[in-house]
Chains A and B, each alone.
Chain A
Amino acid sequence: MATITRRIFLKRFSWTGLLLWALRIGVLVIVLWGSISTLASGRYSASTWLALLIAGLAQGSIYALIALGYSLVYGILLMINFAHGEVFMAGIFTSVFLAEALEESGFLARHPFLTIGALLLLSMAVSTTVALLLERIAYRPLRNAPRLVPLITAIGASFFLQYAFRGFFGSGFKVYPEFGRMMGQWNIFGANIQVVQVAVFLAALVMMAGLYWFVERTKTGKSMRAVSEDKEIAALMGIDVNRVIVITFAIGGMLAGAAGVLRGVYQPQGISFFMGFVPGLKAFTAAVLGGIGNIPGAMLGGLFLGVFEGIGPNLILQGLGIPAANQLKDVIAIVMLVIVLIFRPQGLLGERLAEEKA
């Protein structure tokens, strides 16, 4: 009896446990203190917060679309496709050329929506092609290799793609053309909401709903879920596992390509060979945040990260007296990834891997 009590006692008061609790409380105190002092200072009005929220949702929906690519591939192959940011970059980078040509010819001014449609098609096609080539050349030959090997290959593929684009198209920044009608603003509850933010958010929602329907309702979607649960048995049921893997990469690529155009319309600046890195990292964070391998998790994680990035720095850091808090939005995103990994490694919606995949 005495030993049992001691064991419970020791377990409860282990140093790691104590440290984790201290960390938890520390995080909570910082967040609360920062938020309260910001709100108390009355620096921002409610309409500013609303504007930040909408901007965060627009940014987050782009993250979500990219995050789905990470999560889908992880769900099927249990591997992180670290070259996915470059899949995204390849699409938007290529579509800039078409956008420039259409702008010069005046087609863009006459048919802005047709132009966006054409850009979407091109960007999605290029991203999908790159994703499929990656799968075929870089990952498939290593399907049965230890898990570290494809991970390193993915990083190599990522560099290869970046520097291939740099080699062919130079390292300068390119700019997406402006779409006149998207530039307007609405005034809602005193907040200035850009039309483009709402458009980006809605477009992403439509695509995510489409994906959800595809995975839940179609035969191919069901075979994807079956393969992600148990490859061996799925093959026994006659599912062509290779085909499912190819489809998964293709869907990830399509979504990344679409995310590229949305990014270009929303933030026309800064299109370069290196532009996939940070969004790729953020989307990976979003996927982990939602629970990697989980489709609604990736959507939710992306939106949450976007909003957190939009509001977090102003809300939490400003109150702590940190100047130019907005510059720290990347920091706050990565800090959140670390905190999630410490306290809830399975993510917001993820189920524990131990029982699922063991």
Chain B
Amino acid sequence: MNGEKKPVLELQNVTTHYGPILMLQNLSVEIFPGEIVCLLGGNASGKTTTLKTILGMIVPTEGSVYLGGEKISGLNTMEIVKMGISMVPENRRLFKRMTVRENLEIGAFLRTNGKSLDEDMERVFTLFPRVKERLNQRAGTLSGGEQQMVAVGRALMADPKILLMDEPSMGLAPVLVEQTFEIIQQINEQGTTIFVVEQNANMALSIANRGYVLQTGKIVLADTAQGLLNDSMMRHAYLGEA
């Protein structure tokens, strides 16, 4: 799909080592504008390494990463973030001693578009009216679900070309997991391209357009979400079917 469009984010034959250990092997991922793409895999399959490679925390030994056609592998994290990648980290990782407003302000730290801080904040408030009520509270005092909203809001404040999400379901109650994925869908409908890294394959595939399955550093399956849901190996290994 999207054969003629240029991908927002592209990993081209990326191989990554951590010291002498091979972490990712010949990984190729394309994410097109407006898509939700998920990267599925169990523990130690290389999901987090993939994100670290995209963000320049690990430099690939072979292959390259492109953002909007420009090569970003080899740049440092700050430069990459500045070019338009935001991340919602695993376990949200808010600045707990700072207020919600300050968390959002930090999210807009590298603002380069001309828009004002207030405008971007308004955008977050339309998505999450709850966040507005909590604006002057310390982030650490919020409930898990509210923290998730602030974490997503903080990432959106930078007005990114693509939003990376590292295990958004991690550590949340089932109701909140569902809520979180609704949020992801909602911000995607407003035009943000999203790359979700998840263990919870059922949940991720229920909202994604396409998915990749990672196993010990290699992509073993790549298909549309529907295709993956119907795949027999997938159903056996990741979707909890006997």
Contacts and interface: CB of A to CB of B under 8 A. Distances in A.
A353 interface: no
B93 A237 contact: no
B93 A222 contact: no
Given A226-B98, A230-B93, A230-B95, A236 B106 contact: no
A236 B89 contact: yes
B6 interface: no
Contact of A233 (B89, B97, B102, B110): B89
A174 interface: no
Contacts of B93: 230, 232-233
Nearest to B97: A229
A240 interface: yes
Contact of B77 (A225, A235, A356): A235
Interface string B152-179: 0010001000000000000000000000
Contacts of B102: 222, 225
Contacts, number: 52
B95 A238 contact: no
Contact of B106 (A232, A239, A240, A356): A239
A240 B55 CA distance: 15
Contacts of B96: 229
A236 B55 contact: yes
Which of B87, B95, B97 gathers the greatest number of chain A CB atoms within 10 Å?
B95
Contacts of A225: 95, 97-98, 102
A121 interface: no
A230 B94 CA distance: 9
B105 interface: yes
B105 A222 contact: yes
B162 to A, nearest CB: 14
A236 B92 CA distance: 12
A246 to B, nearest CB: 15
B109 A238 contact: yes
Which of A219, A226, A232 gathers the greatest number of chain B CB atoms within 10 Å?
A226
B156 to A, nearest CB: 12
B152 to A, nearest CB: 14
Contacts of B106: 222-223, 226, 234, 237, 239
Nearest to B76: A235
Interface string B102-119: 100111011000000000
A222 B98 contact: yes
Given A225-B97, A225-B98, A230-B95, A237 B89 contact: no
A233 B81 CA distance: 12
Contacts of B71: none
Which of A219, A232, A237 gathers the greatest number of chain B CB atoms within 10 Å?
A237
Chain A interface main SS type: helix
A233 B97 CA distance: 14
A236 B96 CA distance: 16
Interface string A249-263: 000000000000000
A238 B110 contact: yes
A237 B109 contact: yes
Contacts of A236: 55, 77, 81, 87, 89
A234 B110 CA distance: 11
B136 to A, nearest CB: 13
A258 B78 CA distance: 34
B130 interface: no
Nearest to A235: B77
A125 to B, nearest CB: 29
A237 B81 contact: yes
Interface string B168-212: 000000000000000000000000000000000000000000000
Contacts of B107: 237
Contact of A223 (B77, B87, B89, B109): B109
B82 interface: yes
A240 B110 CA distance: 10
Nearest to A241: B78
Nearest to A240: B78
A237 B107 CA distance: 6
A239 B93 CA distance: 15
B98 A238 contact: no
30 contacts: A222-B102, A225-B95, A225-B102, A226-B98, A226-B106, A229-B95, A229-B96, A230-B93, A230-B95, A232-B93, A233-B93, A234-B95, A235-B77, A236-B55, A236-B77, A236-B81, A236-B87, A236-B89, A237-B81, A237-B106, A237-B107, A237-B110, A237-B154, A237-B158, A238-B78, A238-B81, A238-B82, A238-B110, A238-B158, A239-B78
**Which 3 A-B residue pairs are closest in the complex by CB-CB distance?**
A238-B110, A238-B81, A229-B95
Given A230-B93, A238-B158, 8 more contacts: A223-B109, A225-B102, A233-B89, A236-B81, A237-B106, A238-B78, A238-B109, A240-B78
Interface of A: 219, 222-223, 225-226, 229-230, 232-240, 356
Interface of B: 55, 77-78, 81-82, 87, 89, 93, 95-98, 102, 105-107, 109-110, 154, 158
